[in-house]
Copies of this chain bind each other. A is one copy, B any other.
Amino acid sequence: MYSFTNDYSEGAHPRILEALMETNLTQHTGYGMDEEHCGHARELIRREIGRPDASVHFLVGGTQANLTVIAAALKPWEAVICASTGHINVHETGAVEATGHKVLTLPDPDGKVTPAMVLEILDSHPDEHMVKPKMVYISNTTEIGTQYTKAELEALSHLCRQRGLYLFLDGARLGAALASSANDLTLADIAALTDVFYIGGTKNGALFGEAVVILNPQIDQDFRYMIKQRGGMLAKGWLLGIQFETLFTDGLFYEMAGHSSRLADRLRAGLEERGFSFYSRSVSNQLFPIFSDELIEKLSADFSFNIQARIDDSHQAIRLVTSWATREEAVDALLKALD
């Protein structure tokens, strides 16, 4: 049984574990305040994005990062706009609403927020009888494997700045986005175009960890208070520092995402060759082929994966995810099983 269920089914890249071993018995300052690793990792990230003024905070997971950032940025009556498929809207058990904020959505055929959607929501929220939209939340890659082009991100960013909205990019799968053959964005671009974003470690070869990068000082004010209050301040914070230090040394972050992307391309090509159609136009490491129920049952004997949606009486879209740890032979075996 081989799993294509997600990109976080294995532990971490061996270099990360080695780094943890090497430093294991060294005494460190807690709570992310150590210079050796957290400080160094912050420095590496600031350099990577070309923004020495950026504030970088390390959190354990994505839902935690989302709720902490959003609750820190918004006033009680302010709301966040996202795609109806957005992670915060669907897959976080109402974590944002639990901090008191409404999530405003419009249908999104391909998982992305467009300027037109933002404008439509702004127009329908004119006064104090409704919430006040104040932030746009996007994910790159999106929940259905699509991603933003530089032009799309620029357009959104321009609108947000014009209308006084924060732009927040959930980068749980930012590695996958940057490594995709369809990508034309850099981390520096993202830093230039957003108010806050994060770089996902969990889904790209760390044991856990998301590096929240805050470019807008208004959001950064007292941000550590918010981390602590929401239970996100790791006592042994240097464990996060060490992981991001390793990810951003010798390009390991890109190397792992590149592996994942290459295997996704191989899998996509194999699926296309065999004439399968797809649920979404994914260009990244999540693929959503449409299979017959019969084929799905047969595949399930040797491979595990999630069901995304039922398409018709006899077909469903499944989700296949590659990762830094996916073995080439597993991809080949899966394709072979389709013949």
* Chain A interface residues toward B at CB < 8 A: 2-3, 5-6, 8-12, 14, 17, 20-21, 23-30, 60-65, 67-68, 71-72, 75-77, 79, 90-95, 97-103, 128-132, 202-203, 207-208, 222, 224-236, 239, 325
Beta-carbon nearest neighbor of A26 in chain B: B10
Closest-CB distance, A125 to chain B (whole angstroms) = 9
The reply to whether B235 and A208 form a contact with Cβ atoms under 8 Å apart is: yes
Neighbouring B residues of A228 by C-beta, 8 Å: 63, 77, 92-93, 95, 128-129
The reply to whether A100 and B102 form a contact with Cβ atoms under 8 Å apart is: no
Cβ-neighbour of A202 out of B2, B129, B229, B236 (below 8 A): B236
Residue among A12, A17, A24 facing the most chain B CB atoms (10 A cut-off): A24
Q: Provide the bound-state CA to CA distance between A65 and B208, in Å.
A: 18
The reply to whether A94 and B98 form a contact with Cβ atoms under 8 Å apart is: no
Q: Provide the bound-state CA to CA distance between A12 and B25, in Å.
A: 8
Closest-CB distance, A307 to chain B (whole angstroms) = 11
Residue among A25, A26, A71, A235 facing the most chain B CB atoms (10 A cut-off): A235
The reply to whether B91 and A97 form a contact with Cβ atoms under 8 Å apart is: no
Neighbouring B residues of A63 by C-beta, 8 Å: 228, 231, 233
Binding site of A, secondary structure by majority: helix, strand, loop or mixed?
loop
Beta-carbon nearest neighbor of A59 in chain B: B231
Residue among A63, A90, A231, A325 facing the most chain B CB atoms (10 A cut-off): A231
The reply to whether B98 and A230 form a contact with Cβ atoms under 8 Å apart is: yes
Neighbouring B residues of A99 by C-beta, 8 Å: 76, 100
The reply to whether B10 and A93 form a contact with Cβ atoms under 8 Å apart is: no
Q: Provide the bound-state CA to CA distance between A97 and B90, in Å.
A: 15
The reply to whether B235 and A8 form a contact with Cβ atoms under 8 Å apart is: yes
The 10 closest A-B pairs by CB, nearest first: A64-B231, A11-B24, A77-B225, A94-B102, A93-B229, A94-B131, A128-B224, A9-B27, A93-B228, A97-B102
The reply to whether B130 and A202 form a contact with Cβ atoms under 8 Å apart is: no
Closest-CB distance, A85 to chain B (whole angstroms) = 11
Q: Provide the bound-state CA to CA distance between A219 and B297, in Å.
A: 38
Cβ-neighbour of A95 out of B14, B61, B90, B230 (below 8 A): B230
Q: Provide the bound-state CA to CA distance between A95 and B72, in Å.
A: 14
Q: Provide the bound-state CA to CA distance between A328 and B28, in Å.
A: 19
Cβ-neighbour of A27 out of B2, B79, B90, B91 (below 8 A): B2
Closest-CB distance, A201 to chain B (whole angstroms) = 10
The reply to whether B231 and A67 form a contact with Cβ atoms under 8 Å apart is: yes
Neighbouring B residues of A94 by C-beta, 8 Å: 77, 79, 100-102, 131, 229
Neighbouring B residues of A203 by C-beta, 8 Å: 235
The reply to whether B11 and A93 form a contact with Cβ atoms under 8 Å apart is: no
Q: A222-B132, A225-B77 are known contacts. Are A231 and B95 too (CB-CB below 8 A)?
A: yes
Closest-CB distance, A203 to chain B (whole angstroms) = 8
Beta-carbon nearest neighbor of A105 in chain B: B105
The reply to whether B11 and A239 form a contact with Cβ atoms under 8 Å apart is: yes
